[in-house]
Amino acid sequence: MSALEKPQIIAHIQKSLSYTVFDSRWLPCSAKFVCMGNFARGTGVLQIYEVQRGELQLVREIEKAKPIKCGTFGATSLQQRHLATGDFDGSLDVWNLEVPESPVYSVKAHKEIINSIDGVGGLGIGDGAPEIVTGSRDGPLLITHTWTMYSVLLGIASENVCSQHFVIIGFFLWCFIRYRLFPSS
C-alpha cells in the first residue's frame, strides 16, 4: 500500500487563538462553529466563526465570568440552535447565540467543574423531550429536561470517577429506566 492510498488528514484552515480551547462544535445546518474555553485572566469565552471562501471570519466573541469547559447542540431544534454549556463553576447554561447576553436557562448543576455534556431529542435524534446530561467529578449524574426546566439527579457516582465514561454509562442507564418504566413517553 503506497502513501497515497492511505487515509490522509489535510489541514484546510489554521488559526492561532489567544485563549485555551476546551471544546468546539459546528452550528447545525451552517458553515459556522463555536469554540469554548478560557482566557489567561480566568474568564470564559465563546467565539463563533464562519468559513467564508476558505478563510475563518470571527462572527462574534462573547466573554463570560467563568471558563467554559464543554458544550452541545444535541438538545435543541435545528431552528433554535441553542448551545448548552458546562463551566468551571458547575453551572449548566443554555444560550441563544443570537442574543447571548444572558442564558435562556441556567442551573447550578454540580459543585465542581462540568467535564462533559451531551444532549438528545432536540435535533431529531432519538425520541422524547430534549434532555441534557452532565458529568462532573463531584459525583452525581445530572439529567435536565429542558422543556420543563427541571433536573433529575441519578446518584450512581463514586469518588474519582472518570466523568466522560460516567456520563455515557449513566445516560444509557437513564434511557433504559425511562423507556422500561414509561414506554409511551
The tens digit of pLDDT for each residue in 120-169 reads: 876 555 556 788 889 998 877 788 877 665 555 554 554 444 444 545 55
- Judge whether 31 lies within some domain: yes
Q: How many structural domains are present in the chain?
A: 1
- Judge whether 89 lies within some domain: yes
- CB-count exposure of residue 145 (10 Å: 0-12, 13-18, 19+): middle
The residue type of 47 is: Q
The per-residue pLDDT for 156 is 52
Is 184 a residue whose pLDDT tops 70? no
CB 47 within 8 A of CB 58: yes
The per-residue pLDDT for 170 is 55
Quick: pLDDT tens for 62-84. 999 999 999 999 888 888 889 99
The per-residue pLDDT for 116 is 93
* Alpha-carbon distances of 162 from 23, 43, 167, 168, 169, rounded to whole Å: 18, 25, 9, 10, 11
* Alpha-carbon distances of 169 from 130, 133, 137, 149, rounded to whole Å: 19, 11, 15, 23
- Judge whether 5 lies within some domain: no
- Judge whether 157 lies within some domain: yes
159: DSSP letter: T
Spell out where the chain has E strands: 20-26, 32-38, 44-52, 55-64, 68-72, 83-87, 91-95, 105-108, 114-120, 131-136, 141-145, 150-154
The per-residue pLDDT for 148 is 62
Quick: pLDDT tens for 7-49. 888 888 999 999 999 999 999 989 999 999 999 999 999 999 9
Q: Quick one: cell of 25?
A: 462544535
CATH number at residue 98: 2.130.10.10
Would you tell me how many other CB atoms lie within 10 Å of the CB of residue 101? Answer: 7
The per-residue pLDDT for 161 is 47
Q: Quote the domain boundaries for residue 50.
A: 20-181
Return the SS3 of 81: coil
Residue 62 or residue 2, greater confidence: 62
Is 114 a residue whose pLDDT tops 90? yes
Which region among 48-52, 92-96, 155-159 has the lowest average model confidence (pLDDT)? 155-159
The per-residue pLDDT for 153 is 52
- Judge whether 88 lies within some domain: yes
CB 29 within 8 A of CB 39: no
- Judge whether 44 lies within some domain: yes
Average pLDDT over residues 83-94: 95
- Judge whether 76 lies within some domain: yes
Residue 26 or residue 1, greater confidence: 26
- Judge whether 2 lies within some domain: no
The per-residue pLDDT for 143 is 80
